[in-house]
Amino acid sequence: MRAVLDVGTNSVRLLLAHVRLGRVEPILREVRVTRLGQGVDASGELRDDAMERTFHALEELMGLIPPKTPTSILATSAVRDAKNKGEFARLVQARLGLSLEILSGLEEAELSFSGALASLEGYELFDPITVVDIGGGSTEIYSGHVGGELLGGGSAQIGAVRLLERFGGNRLPLPEEIRNILLPVVEENLTFQPKTLVAVGGTAQSLAAIMQELPVYSDEKVLGYTFSLGELEDCYGKLGRLSLEERRQIPSLQPGREDVIIYGAAILLQVARLLNFAKIMVSSGDLLVARIARN
């Protein structure tokens, strides 16, 4: 049994799993929305209150891990962008007894690709494959083959929380405001001529659950779910017409995502358009799965 914690811009996550014959078999998945990245885009620093929220959630998740289970902890966009990331890493060591691994954008992209494919074993995927992971602070886009061969890609400084803070929840970004940031990493992936687009992360999984009108969120129902660009456009339009309170009433949408889901959907929409895909498949596998497999 192994455990891995992911400290993201919007949430912290836990995956507890067995690894048998190289396959990751999840036992427990937990998510807590903490918004560690609150204000990082503007100030370049992690706020004390955001760190405290995050440590409270991490300590709660640590309590779910059986004693003596090998455990690793990763951090992504908010921490790697913060000027005080060293302080945060020291606090992780002091409070949790774990050494924090801060992923680069490229490392995050590669792990997201590997984890997405690992969870889609047995599904029909046409090579090359591009995986997009929309987070709170960044978006990773990476291409490779079903067999695991990595081709290339990277990370763009655009995410659901980052956009929410830039626009203050007052308006949605214009398409070109998203495209201009995504274009360099999209163009690199286009050189590989991808045939399948897979989306991972909270945005994609939430949208898949919403489109299926699930009474509660389910990884099993989300894994492998495919929707069209038209369905994504329709869902984006409907979400944009709802108030925050109305979004809170969506049964499959995790509390804490009601304000950012529309910005994540806006990013996914532009990624699909720029990569010229009419269909998007969703995977519940991600960098946590890949890290568990490699440990």
Instruction: Tell me the average pLDDT across 266-292.
Output: 96
Q: Which CATH superfamily is domain 116-289 in?
A: Exopolyphosphatase. Domain 2 (3.30.420.150)
Binned at pLDDT 50, 70 and 90, residue 294 comes out as: confident
User: Minimal CA–CA distance to 274: which of 149, 147, 187?
Assistant: 187
Q: Residue 70: which residues within 8 A CB-CB, separation 6 or more?
A: 1, 2, 3, 295
* Overall fold of domain 2-102: Nucleotidyltransferase; domain 5 (3.30.420)
**For the chain, what are the domain ranges?**
2-102, 116-289
The vertex-74 CA angle with 266 and 155, nearest 5°, equals 40
Higher pLDDT, 147 or 32: 32
The fraction of the chain above a pLDDT of 90, given in percent, is 92
**Is residue 210 within 8 Å of residue 253, measured between CB atoms?**
yes
Question: β-strand 2-7 against 71-75: which pairing, if any?
Answer: parallel
Binned at pLDDT 50, 70 and 90, residue 47 comes out as: very high
**Is residue 277 within 8 Å of residue 132, measured between CB atoms?**
no
Instruction: Tell me the average pLDDT across 14-39.
Output: 92
Binned at pLDDT 50, 70 and 90, residue 1 comes out as: very high
What pLDDT was estimated at residue 147?
Answer: 86
Binned at pLDDT 50, 70 and 90, residue 227 comes out as: very high
Written as six digits, the tokens of 203 are 């945005």
pTM of the model: 0.94
What is the rounded CA–CA span in Å between residue 146 and residue 120?
A: 10
- Taking only the tens place, the pLDDT of each residue in 88-109 is 999 999 999 999 999 999 999 9
Do 2-102 and 116-289 show the same overall fold? Answer: yes
**Is residue 77 within 8 Å of residue 37, measured between CB atoms?**
yes
**Is residue 81 within 8 Å of residue 14, measured between CB atoms?**
no
- Taking only the tens place, the pLDDT of each residue in 162-216 is 999 998 877 899 999 999 999 999 999 999 999 999 999 999 999 999 999 999 9
Phi, psi dihedral angles at 212 (to 5 degrees) = -85, -5
If you search the block for the tokens 């099993």, which residue do you land on? 220
Q: For the chain, what's the residue count?
A: 295
